[in-house]
Chain A
């Protein structure tokens, strides 16, 4: 089996991972970034990494997926050429976040995507020009997605924000304390000035036979569309950290001021430590990279920036919390686990995520509960458990190395 060893091994090539790897490299440490996407940049930058950050970036390995933890400092990964064991004296987990998806009738129809998901697809060349899009869910990411899709020629029919108007207004008023954010928000609203933006508004179901044709809103109104882009916030990707034994808190990796996790020599940075946005991810990445290399003074210089970014994120989180009505959208036959086609009805007899997995096969498919796990957590309050194998892997990868 091929092996690669580094002083600092960074998992995830988004903003936090890039910052961490750069910080470590600056100290002279041999570092590498591993990412399962075809390019680095993460979901925030999607390959368009600012030039200033690209210089002196260490060994980057893209299209490489970590499939299992072999010990606390060895990871089994899969690349196109085959399996590889990656080792790091220090490991920095910058695995980012994914979108939270909530099930509702019709959400499995082709044309229903994540809000960030549709943005990602469009950046990959998905044809959107002239197509009618409804953007629904919660938070400022809806505006960012709508503005981006519009630049590619999409016709945005409606932005449906589930948060009540008083919360959204209070949040917007609070932006005066964050001038850069205020400017961003103002620019977005201006770019979308002729698009209906409704607060206290959510999609009750998606309608269509072979693909989505319209959505029905909570007030019963229907809006025709070719795409429904849903964004209900983000969920930290804690699967690998959990498999490595890192302690979690509120669904995110618990870290100390140096971004160190509960496991010796393993650090975490960015959205995986709690959803706090780009600025926080960058600050945490620099801190983790310096701290992992033993440069605590350099790391400390970033504490203020991190604190400020996290404060902003806390306000955001409170303003755009999910309303309880979203828990009761499913009909008995609404699919919750898309991999295994498990309907809401089949989950009713169970009281834990584990029982639902064992008896109803919920979360047992290829995505390993990455979609339905967060949904079940919101709907039923179940917490997902760690898995031995992270993601579908080729048998060849697994038989060559003993996976615990």
Chain B
């Protein structure tokens, strides 16, 4: 297992997990808010829809479903 932090909370995940999986394991439902403020979460799971955009290690608009977790990674949703 490796550990990432989702919105500041430690979240252990199996090696090879995506950031999207880590967010789901942390029981966070909304990955981002839409233009009108509605909660959104991954749709396509393969880097097409951009619904899973989150901030990863300070870099905004990163695709959670396409990014493998690395130990110590900081993930922020919404």
For the complex, is A105 an interface residue (Cβ under 8 Å from B)?
Answer: no
A residues with CB within 8 A of B? 36-38, 43, 63, 98-99, 101, 108-114, 116-121, 124-127, 210-211, 335, 338-341, 365-367, 370-371, 392
B46 and chain A: residue at smallest CB distance: A120
Output the least CB separation between A376 and chain B (Å).
15
Q: How many whole Å from A126's CB to the nearest CB in chain B?
A: 5
A108: which of B25, B29, B38 is its contact (CB, 8 Å)?
A: B38
Which residue of chain A is the closest to B14 with respect to CB atoms?
A125
Are the C-beta atoms of B44 and A98 separated by less than 8 Å? yes
Partner of A365 from the list B38, B48, B50 (CB cut-off 8 Å) is B50
Nearest chain B residue, comparing its CB with the CB of A339: B50
Size class of the B contact interface (CB-based, 8 Å)? 35 or more
Are A341 and B46 in contact, with the CB atoms below 8 A? no
Shortest Cβ distance from residue A68 to the other chain B in the assembled complex, whole angstroms: 17
Cross-chain contact A338 with B45 (CB below 8 angstroms): no
CB-CB < 8 A to A211: which residues of B?
29, 39, 41
Chain B, interface SS category: loop
Contacts A367-B48, A370-B48, A371-B49: A111 and B41 contacting too (C-beta < 8 A)?
A: yes
A341-B38 contact in complex given A124-B17, A211-B29, C-beta closer than 8 Å: yes
A127 & B29 in contact (Cβ 8 Å cutoff): no
Is the Cβ of A110 less than 8 Å from the Cβ of B41?
yes
Query: Looking across the interface, which residue of chain A has its beta carbon closest to that of B36?
Result: A341
B20 lies within 8 A of A121 (CB) = yes
Chain B stretch 30-54: residues in CB contact (< 8 A) with chain A: 30-31, 34-36, 38-51, 53
Give the CA-CA distance A113 to B61 in the complex, in Å.
20
The answer to whether B44 touches A127 (Cβ under 8 A) is: no
- Chain B residues contacting A117 (CB-CB under 8 Å) are 42-46
Residue of B nearest to A111 (CB): B41
* A127 near B21: Cβ-Cβ < 8 Å: yes
Extra pairs beyond A38-B68, A210-B29 (15, CB < 8 Å): A36-B47, A38-B66, A43-B46, A63-B66, A101-B49, A108-B40, A113-B42, A113-B43, A117-B44, A120-B45, A121-B18, A125-B17, A125-B21, A365-B50, A392-B61
Please report B residues at the A interface, Cβ cutoff 8 Å.
13-14, 16-18, 20-22, 24-25, 29-31, 34-36, 38-51, 53, 61, 65-68
Closest to A341 in B: B35
B20 neighbours in A (Cβ, 8 Å): 121, 124, 126
What CA separation (Å) do A335 and B51 show in the bound complex? 14
Q: In the bound complex, do residue B41 and residue A338 qualify as a contact, i.e. CB atoms below 8 Å apart?
A: no
Chain B residues lying within 8 Å of A99, measured Cβ to Cβ, are: 44
Q: Using Cβ atoms and an 8 Å threshold, which residues of chain A touch B41?
A: 110-111, 211
Residue from A37, A124, A392 whose CB has the most chain B CB atoms within 10 Å: A124
B42 touches A127 (CB 8 A): no
Q: List 20 A-B contacts (CB under 8 A).
A: A36-B66, A37-B47, A98-B44, A101-B43, A113-B42, A113-B43, A114-B45, A116-B45, A117-B44, A117-B45, A120-B44, A121-B20, A125-B22, A126-B18, A338-B43, A338-B51, A340-B35, A366-B50, A366-B53, A366-B61
Which B residues are CB-close (under 8 A) to A365? Answer: 50
Docked Cα-Cα span, A110 to B40, in Å, equals 5
